[in-house]
Chains A and B, each alone.
Chain A
Amino acid sequence: MATPLPTTWRIAWRNLWRNPRRTGLALAAIGLSVTLVLIYDGVLRWEAGWMVDTITGPMLGHVQAHAPEWRKTRAMEKTLRDVTKTVAALRADPGVAGVDARVYAPALAALGEEGFAIMVIGVDVAEAARPARLLQGVTTRIGTREVLMGNLLAAQMGVKPGDRIAVVGQGVDGSLANDLLTVRALISTPVDSVNRQALIMPIRDAQDLFAMSDEAHELVIYGRDVEQAKALAAGLQRLPALSGAEVLDWQAAQPGMYELVRLVEVMWVFILVLVFVAAAAGVANTALMSTFERTHEFGMLLALGTTPSRIVGMIVLESLALGATGALLGTALGSALVAWAYRTGIDYAALTGGGPTNLSAFGMNFSLVIYPWLTAVDIVRVVAAVMVTSLVASVWPALRAARLQPARALRE
């Protein structure tokens, strides 16, 4: 029968399985390391993506544009003009995936006689209802003179859906803006301040109410890749439509949030490094041990005329085979677990035995349900690392074996 694999390979493979139990344990060690690293990688991928999505989705966007001075003073009359044209120009840009024009107007709202300080936010409802955005999951249609109210504000005011409330504010021209509006539904968004203080309405209605023509306070711009936010911001600033505006990427707009993301990332990477070290140590240890104990056998082979280089080759190949098999098993298990977790989600709180199910920071609520995912790069990286470690770990014993004196070796 033709031999498909070179002899050395076949011998190496067979050697591995001469002691199936021992090899099995070693494979389990390596496999488990790889599985753990992959799970961690999966969670890290999710965390970076999710956290950033949760931060940028509802309120920040990837890039924001304002009239200069608006962020500092929040003055009603500091608006961007000709918003329809600007939005159209932005949407035409290939790097832009979505634009939400917003109006922010402080006002007074009352169900009965008691007035409450609130913020009216006019949004592009269609844009904001997209996944991971402010009104995600909200399917109610908002008609004319209808608004959505933050659930915590509603609780404070004693408002139920269907109630009519009076809203009073000041238009951009200083005139009195007032109207009776129906609360269509209560909403709970990831943004704490919205839940506590906001009335949300279509931007057209907000513009009418506050005597604004084609104006907005903020353009929330979503790009195709959040990692490119800085570049997108720089590019958009050069557009004639935004020439007088202040255009910021989200990191510049909210440096505190950005720092939080980085911090969480750093902490996880730190743990990942530790896990990697453990994995490497396990692999190395196994490789070393499985080589050292066969000194007698190598001695015999040398005595029988095997060249030292072939012995080295055999040892190295065995180690690689062990590493590869372990890595494969680990990858299979790890990928399967990650895929399953991606479908069902890991409830962090349940996993860690209770505790907060939400992370509240900077006025945002991040839900702590993990959906890990992996790219091919992650898998290749781990497998390569295992192979390299196995290779390196086999060098010392291999060299040693090559220099064996058969007689001495046979005696061991």
Chain B
Amino acid sequence: MTTIRQRGIFLVGLAASAVVAAAAFAQPAKPPDVDAVLSHLDDLYRSKSSIARIEMIVTGARSMRTMRLKAWTRGEDDALIVVEAPAREEGTATLRVGPNLWNYLPRIARTIRVPPSMMLGSWMGTDFTNDDLVKESSLHKDFESRIDRRSDSPPGWWLTLTVKPGIVGRWARIEILISDDGWLPLQERHFDRKGRLARTMAFDEIRMLGGRRVPAHLVLAPTDVEGQRTEMRYLDLQFDARIPDDTFSLSRLERSRQ
């Protein structure tokens, strides 16, 4: 058993990277270097600080809910998320500074600190858990990978990642389909430690965001719950953005209705 120390912030994306302009097309017949691919995927959305506008759609058995959020992140510890839409929840904000988590509720003009015991569950009713949002794990470091097979439509390569022994995580195996064009993730399949397909992710709407070429739309669906899925779409994304120091503070939290 190995313990992984996970410190967290709201992770504004998963997987894939853009070696943006570089060597645009790899020859379809030649499989890419897996190490390079994985590092690329790890760094796809990573930066020292970022500002993003995101649309999130949660579909459940009985309803569909659309939210629009603005998110600031700094390093690995600090994050501020403000809800812009729907109107009913506009201005609701979540602030994380280090180990502390607060919610600001504009309708009642109150700030509440979330007790640690409540931080372990799912985040805001989505299919993301704190695990997803908070993890520092790396595909490159935690998984053994190999090219599995070629895909013709869409054109790309299927990689199979097997978790290294001793790594703590819920996924024993991940299969990723990367595109020929820029090694962007198109699909991910997460297999739990029993080898069962637990959830799938699909990526599309590849475009330029914040100077990088990344998939802007992502759909996460658990396999054993009928009709449930969470979609995330980047409307706007700035990497290495300049963020005023006082952004990650309670007072800013309360004034965040803008």
Is there contact, CB below 8 Å, between A179 and B65? no
Q: Is B21 interfacial (CB-CB < 8 Å)?
A: no
Q: Is B255 interfacial (CB-CB < 8 Å)?
A: no
User: A114: which of B58, B83, B113 is its contact (CB, 8 Å)?
Assistant: B113
Q: Is A23 interfacial (CB-CB < 8 Å)?
A: no
Beyond A180-B108, A180-B110, is A173–B115 a contact (Cβ under 8 Å)? no
- Chain A residues contacting B62 (CB-CB under 8 Å) are 77, 172-173
Alpha-carbon distance between A170 and B111 when the two chains are bound, in angstroms: 16
Q: Is A116 interfacial (CB-CB < 8 Å)?
A: yes
- Chain B residues contacting A412 (CB-CB under 8 Å) are none
- Chain B residues contacting A116 (CB-CB under 8 Å) are 115
Name, among B65, B102, B117, the residue most crowded by chain A CB atoms within 10 Å (CB to CB): B65
Is there contact, CB below 8 Å, between A166 and B113? no
Chain B interface size range:
20 to 34
Is there contact, CB below 8 Å, between A113 and B113? yes
Is there contact, CB below 8 Å, between A178 and B108? yes
| Cβ contacts B77-116/A at 8 Å (1 or 0 each) | 0000001001011001000000000110101101111110
**A contacts with B: majority SS:** strand
Q: Which residue of B lies closest to A78 (CB)?
A: B61
Q: Is A68 interfacial (CB-CB < 8 Å)?
A: no
List the count of A-B residue pairs having beta carbons below 8 Å apart. 68
Beyond A117-B117, A174-B65, A174-B125, is A166–B60 a contact (Cβ under 8 Å)? no
Name, among B83, B105, B126, the residue most crowded by chain A CB atoms within 10 Å (CB to CB): B105
Beyond A77-B61, A108-B114, A114-B113, is A179–B108 a contact (Cβ under 8 Å)? yes
Would you give the shortest CB distance from B55 to chain A, in whole angstroms?
15
- Chain A residues contacting B86 (CB-CB under 8 Å) are 175
- Chain B residues contacting A172 (CB-CB under 8 Å) are 62-63
Beyond A117-B117, A117-B118, is A175–B108 a contact (Cβ under 8 Å)? no
User: A176: which of B58, B63, B89, B111 is its contact (CB, 8 Å)?
Assistant: B89
Q: Is A110 interfacial (CB-CB < 8 Å)?
A: yes
- Chain A residues contacting B118 (CB-CB under 8 Å) are 108, 115, 117
Name, among A77, A113, A115, A179, the residue most crowded by chain B CB atoms within 10 Å (CB to CB): A115
How many chain A residues have a CB neighbour from B under 8 Å? 19
Q: Is B1 interfacial (CB-CB < 8 Å)?
A: no
- Chain A residues contacting B58 (CB-CB under 8 Å) are 174
Q: Is A168 interfacial (CB-CB < 8 Å)?
A: yes
Q: Which residue of A lies closest to B92 (CB)?
A: A176
Residues of A162-190 whose CB lies within 8 A of B: 166, 168, 170, 172-176, 178-180
Q: Which residue of B lies closest to A211 (CB)?
A: B63
Q: Which residue of A lies closest to B86 (CB)?
A: A175
Beyond A166-B105, A168-B105, is A115–B60 a contact (Cβ under 8 Å)? no
Is there contact, CB below 8 Å, between B112 and A108? yes
Is there contact, CB below 8 Å, between A174 and B124? yes
Would you give the shortest CB distance from A67 to chain B, in whole angstroms?
12
Alpha-carbon distance between A179 and B110 when the two chains are bound, in angstroms: 10
- Chain A residues contacting B102 (CB-CB under 8 Å) are 113
Is there contact, CB below 8 Å, between B60 and A173? yes
Would you give the shortest CB distance from B122 to chain A, in whole angstroms?
9
Would you give the shortest CB distance from A216 to chain B, in whole angstroms?
15
Alpha-carbon distance between A357 and B105 when the two chains are bound, in angstroms: 44
User: A174: which of B63, B107, B114, B117 is its contact (CB, 8 Å)?
Assistant: B63
Beyond A168-B103, A173-B60, A174-B58, is A115–B113 a contact (Cβ under 8 Å)? yes
Would you give the shortest CB distance from B142 to chain A, in whole angstroms?
31
Alpha-carbon distance between A114 and B116 when the two chains are bound, in angstroms: 11
Alpha-carbon distance between A175 and B105 when the two chains are bound, in angstroms: 13
- Chain B residues contacting A113 (CB-CB under 8 Å) are 102, 111-113
Alpha-carbon distance between A168 and B94 when the two chains are bound, in angstroms: 13
Beyond A174-B58, A175-B65, A179-B107, is A115–B89 a contact (Cβ under 8 Å)? no
- Chain B residues contacting A110 (CB-CB under 8 Å) are 110, 112-113
Is there contact, CB below 8 Å, between B63 and A173? yes
Would you give the shortest CB distance from A41 to chain B, in whole angstroms?
50
Q: Which residue of A lies closest to B89 (CB)?
A: A176
Alpha-carbon distance between A166 and B126 when the two chains are bound, in angstroms: 23
Alpha-carbon distance between A116 and B86 when the two chains are bound, in angstroms: 27
Alpha-carbon distance between A367 and B24 when the two chains are bound, in angstroms: 79
Q: Which residue of A lies closest to B62 (CB)?
A: A77
| Chain B contacts to A: CB under 8 angstroms | 58, 60-63, 65, 83, 86, 88-89, 92, 102-103, 105, 107-108, 110-115, 117-118, 124-126
3 nearest A-B residue pairs (beta carbon):
A174-B125, A173-B63, A166-B110
Can you give 16 A-B contacts (C-beta < 8 A)?
A: A77-B61, A108-B112, A108-B118, A110-B112, A113-B111, A113-B113, A115-B113, A117-B115, A117-B118, A166-B108, A168-B103, A170-B125, A172-B62, A172-B63, A173-B65, A175-B65
| Chain A contacts to B: CB under 8 angstroms | 77, 108, 110, 113-117, 166, 168, 170, 172-176, 178-180
* 11 additional contacts (CB under 8 A) given A113-B102, A178-B107: A115-B112, A115-B114, A116-B115, A166-B110, A168-B105, A172-B63, A173-B63, A174-B58, A176-B83, A178-B105, A179-B107
